[in-house]
Amino acid sequence: MSSSCVLFVDDEAGFLELYRTVFSRLGISVRTAESLGQARQAVAGGGIDAIVLDIRLGDESGLSFLKEINASPARIPVVLSTAYARYQDDVSSWLADGYVIKSSDLTELKATVQRVLEAAR
């Protein structure tokens, strides 16, 4: 997992800082985006092995970005991360490689990211 690069997309700067701290310690190269615009730029730049994507990004929906990623030739695995469990009912969310409910305990998110990265190798 040491050479992997994960893009975290969340409109909450605090979460991005938390992710950067925690996942950097795991040896993961962390990139962050506070909007879908920034996320698209990061993906276009290449080198992303997985994306952790918030669903509600202000007025934007992470699910639309998930569809874009799935439609692109270089399909990058996506882990959805959201505060609201009911988004699992949205069929769009089934396209994701993982689905994690936001929590102060990042154990599940770390495990899911690890699983997704290993599966992509």
Partner 1 sequence: MTARSRRAPGSRMAVAGVPLAGRGVQRQKPHRVIELVNRVSVALESVVDPDVAAWTVLVAFTAGEGLGFNRAYFLLSEGDEMRGTFGVGPRSQAEAREIWAKLRRDQVTPLESIARPDNATLAIERERSAEILGWLSHRGDVKCAAWRRAFVARPGHPSACVGHWLDTLASRLLVVVPLMAGDRPWGVILADNFVTQAPIYVGTLNAAELLGHALRASVERARLIVRLGEEQRHRAAAEHAGTLIETARSLAHDLKNPLALAGGLAADLAAEPSRDADLLARRLGMVSEAISRAETRLAQLVDGLANRALSSTVEAVEVGGAVARVADVFRPLAFSRGVRLTCYRPARPLIAMASVPSLERCVENLIGNALQALASGAGEIQVAVLATESQVRIEVADSGPPLPAGLRADPFAGGVSTRQGGSGLGLASVRAQIQAMGGQVGYDESQEGWTRFTIVLRRLT
Residues that bind partner 1 in the complex, under the rule CB under 8 A:
12, 14-15, 17-18, 21-22, 25, 56, 82-84, 86, 102-106
Nearer to partner 1, 5 or 18 (CB): 18
Beta bridge partners of 61: 56
Beta strands in 2-109 (DSSP E): 5-9, 29-33, 50-54, 56-57, 60-61, 78-82, 98-101
Nearer to partner 1, 17 or 68 (CB): 17
User: Smallest distance, Å, CB 104 to partner 1?
Assistant: 2
Distance between CA 64 and CA 108 in Å, rounded?
A: 24
Tell me 92's DSSP state. G
User: Smallest distance, Å, CB 9 to partner 1?
Assistant: 14
Nearer to partner 1, 111 or 119 (CB): 111
What pairing do the DSSP bridges indicate for beta strands 50-54 and 56-57?
A: unpaired
User: Smallest distance, Å, CB 96 to partner 1?
Assistant: 17
Nearer to partner 1, 11 or 40 (CB): 11
- Reduce the DSSP state of residue 97 to 3 states and report it: coil
